[in-house]
Structure 1
């Protein structure tokens, strides 16, 4: 089978098209013919061995998120059957319950081989069935970005009707956060870098928007949107440069879901704003299979728009990653696998 893999040494320059033997399912395993994949920011980090020993070893098949069709099952498989469309779970060993190191080290696309292969062989416990209302490309966007947003707002945040939510940007996690907050009945403010993106965000249901390029000190404007009270929940994707402003517009007792570090990973914030106002700073790293299946039920019920910005062919992975690095996308970047 054909794969895209990082070989010989780390770095995007060592990403190559290669051949591997097609895997065969053993007891409790399923064989998937992959149909599509989608990119996340971590897919830029993995080729540079950015997670240290947790990145895995070479050769490594990158990219965590994808969708495939079950073509063969091993002995004892009950969860899925040939012909089912399924998504591999980002964390293969985190089925339910609280996060534990052992449950969070088996992630696809590093250290485990990822979705850039014609076939994947996985435990039946590590896949979820996809409803028919979702296309292959839409389904491929779900395992990391969508579940991260769901975990932040629903599993941990428990956002409800009338609450005020602020979302940063227009990437995959941000757009899913906008969709899930709206499903929950919240009022959603989104900050973005361009008026063109803001227009599209409003079309997707954003109640209020701020262009942070024109308003660099956006926290004051954002707080005014809440009548001075502050936001109940902020989906924090920027990190180093945005967290200080998020702390200035979160309400007392509010929750900051710490997800991304797109503007830097160092922490330099006034800690008094967290302590004296009892702000909850909640780290979010994707989520478990039970959460994924709950999210799928919500998607099937409410059918929010899933925005795919651009689709690349299987062998154009390096070009797709360069496009991701540019930051110009609105929504998800997908990869179409060969038939």
Structure 2
């Protein structure tokens, strides 16, 4: 065992040019209730980007990245859930184990309130991890912590999706692509938007039945509504925020569900409340999910043929380059890091 491990740190002034490759003391052996995990992969999320650029006001020296997947190297006394050699994936809210949402901040979220997974080895309590899905690579598993679980909770836990439902996904980031895959696997009809015709063709290959280029069709909410036969869609995966929410309300069915997941177009704005009320639709803010949600999601993945869509893979020390690629919006699905 080496005395040091490699890691990345965010230094002030925060920004993509100031992510430092450094060495840390090896964390040593796990205490009671802990596991030592060799981290093999992570994946990028908008939240990680916001932390790295300083928008989330991280502490100087923070180790970034909320998603981490790897191999258990050692277990502490009393640990029965994991064994040496198990493949594991991190949890976004390690203190939210089960039950209704109980957390409204990121104080204990790895890569934000506490140090994350841009490092070779961690020692953490067992609740910081679950088992990976059988047959998944480390990179594939690393996409589940944030993006995959958010889509699962929006559609299955909160949306109570059922065969025959319809789902609208916005854009082609990780959450939206996962939502398309989950919806199709559960017998739903998928509608998708993008500014890229090439990406819309990729959505068709994933099973989307109706696609809309929002640059060519500014009133895409009406177009979705018309394409649904004037009924509207049962579920909307709303990742844009104030800039897209009015169109999502146009698109949603009476009594439908809008999962407000992202704020890519800003943190606040006007909401057509009268139209939302007339639709009697449910607008619900969602941030990832609990450890139990993740375990349920992983069981579902093992019973399906869903594999995450990974657009591009970078090495850990190329994190700045990976974030710039994310920033460009070229990706379809997830961007991963391997260590």
TM over 0.5: yes
Q: CA RMSD in A?
A: 1.4
Partner of 1:45: 50
**How does 1:200-239 map onto structure 2 within 5 Å?**
200-239=202-241
**How does 1:1-339 map onto structure 2 within 5 Å?**
1-24=5-28, 25-52=30-57, 55=58, 57-101=59-103, 105-337=107-339
User: How many Å separate the matches in 2 of 1:58 and 1:75?
Assistant: 33
After superposition, the Cα gap between the structure-2 partners of 1:238 and 1:197, relative to the gap in structure 1 and judged at 3 Å, is same
**1:69-89 Cα deviation digits (max 9, x unpaired):** 000111111110110000010
Number of corresponding residues? 334
**1:29-85 Cα deviation digits (max 9, x unpaired):** 101001111100111111233234xx4x22110011120100011111111011000
TM-score (norm 2): 0.95
Q: Secondary structure at the match of 2:279?
A: coil
**1:237-276 Cα deviation digits (max 9, x unpaired):** 1112110111112112111000011122222121111223
After superposition, the Cα gap between the structure-2 partners of 1:103 and 1:217, relative to the gap in structure 1 and judged at 3 Å, is closer
Q: CA deviation at 1:229?
A: 1.1
Q: CA deviation at 1:103?
A: 8.2
1:69 and 1:85 in contact (8 A); partners too: yes
**1:101-130 Cα deviation digits (max 9, x unpaired):** 378631111111111000011111221011
Unmatched segments (≥5 aa) in structure 2: none
**1:218-246 Cα deviation digits (max 9, x unpaired):** 11110011110111111101112110111
User: How many Å separate the matches in 2 of 1:240 and 1:103?
Assistant: 21
2:243 and 2:269 in contact (8 A); partners too: no
User: How many Å separate the matches in 1 of 2:223 and 2:133?
Assistant: 40
After superposition, the Cα gap between the structure-2 partners of 1:5 and 1:301, relative to the gap in structure 1 and judged at 3 Å, is same
User: How many Å separate the matches in 1 of 2:268 and 2:187?
Assistant: 34
1:91 and 1:105 in contact (8 A); partners too: no
Unmatched segments (≥5 aa) in structure 1: none
